[in-house]
Amino acid sequence: DTDPAPDLRSVLPSEVNSKYNTIYGIVFDAGSTGTRIHIYTFHQRAAGSPLELDGEIFESVKPGLSAYANQPEKGADAVLSLLQLAQDAVPSSHWQKTPLILKATAGFRLLPVHQAEGLLSEVRKVFNSSPFLVPENSVTILDGTDEGILAWITVNFLTGRLHGDHSVGTLDLGGASTQITFLPLNKATLDETPQESLASFELFNSTYRLYTRSYLGLGLKEARLAVLEASVSVAQQEQTFRSHCFPPALNGSWVFSGVTYRYGGHSDGLTGFHLCYSEVQRIVVGKLHQVEEIRHSPFYAFSYYYDRAVDSSLIGECHVCAA
């Protein structure tokens, strides 16, 4: 796979304004393909006024925590190594008031409950023995609805579209799930959408009612395994998974979530777009809910949509995005 190497983005403020109270916050994103730490620095002009973001330190490790389903202590070690970075970045005088949270996404949603809980409980132990503030429920699995909503809020907040009728929809392609979220403007959309795909919430004194849908198993990596009809147990027997999407002579191997999958083309010599298309179609047919309104709505696409668009030169790489 051609994932970018873990990157270190250090954008802490060059001059910390000592006039204001500096506040830190530490967020772990336990994704299916990697664990990431975000160490945020804010300042507050006066008690009760909103926090203003000064900077962020970011670091990531691979594979994702869910790859350690059978070795939860080892998974927690990955969290511990990232936490060390936070201890170096946050002054010790602030440790006790700096909150620490971890949200796990689709890799965890796919795990049997006892394995997911085993991992989360090892992470809780690491958090509880750290010098930071551990709020109640600080280590949890984010559900697909919240993942979709948070991405929508982030994009519309950052692009200044949160107020008014010009919001954009979001398309988020993760490793294990994919989310589509937008603000429906047509009554027909609201009428034909099942209740579980509509989410209402309050933000900055406005009420939003979003369409949001998360497809578990249709993230880039899990969908690839589905197309190949691959399973962990068969992969461990070193069987090759074959697809008409590959050239017949191709043989390779791919590591995902700690498992090596061998793949290759078919010995019948057949390959090409149409055969490949029907293999891919097989895994989505009957599973997708499509509403007419999205044909005319603007969307922002990111995560693996961005990575793959860069890889295939559809767009240029964004060098200033983190700033």
Ligand X SMILES: Nc1ncnc2c1ncn2[C@@H]1O[C@H](COP(=O)(O)OP(=O)(O)O)[C@@H](O)[C@H]1O
Residues in touch with ligand X (CB under 6 A):
29, 31-34, 36, 64, 105-107, 174-177, 219, 302-304, 307
Q: 27 vs 80, which CB is nearer to ligand X?
A: 27
Which lies closer to ligand X via its Cβ, residue 107 or residue 265?
107
Q: Which CB atom, from 208 or from 306, has the smaller least distance to ligand X? A: 306
- In the bound complex, what is the minimum distance in angstroms from residue 303's beta carbon to ligand X? 4
Distance of closest approach, residue 174 Cβ to ligand X, in angstroms: 2
**Residue 59 bears catalytic tag:** no
Residue showing tokens 């992470």:
123
Q: d(Cα 195, Cα 299) in Å, to the nearest integer?
A: 22
The edge-to-edge listing of strands for the beta sheet with 177-182 is 198-203, 206-216, 177-182, 169-173, 299-303
Task: Name the active-site residue from 56, 73, 117, 147.
Answer: 147
SS3 (DSSP) at 298: coil
Q: How far is CA 155 from the centre of its chain?
A: 14
Question: Minimum distance from CB of 279 to ligand X (Å)?
Answer: 22
**Whose CA is closest to 203, among 145, 162, 146, 151?**
162
Identity of the residue, 28 or 304, whose beta carbon is nearer to ligand X in the bound complex: 304
Q: How far is the CB of 171 from ligand X (least distance, A)?
A: 12
- Other beta carbons within 10 angstroms of residue 52's beta carbon come to 13
Bridge partners, 41 (sequence order): 24, 55
Catalytically active residues, by annotation: 147
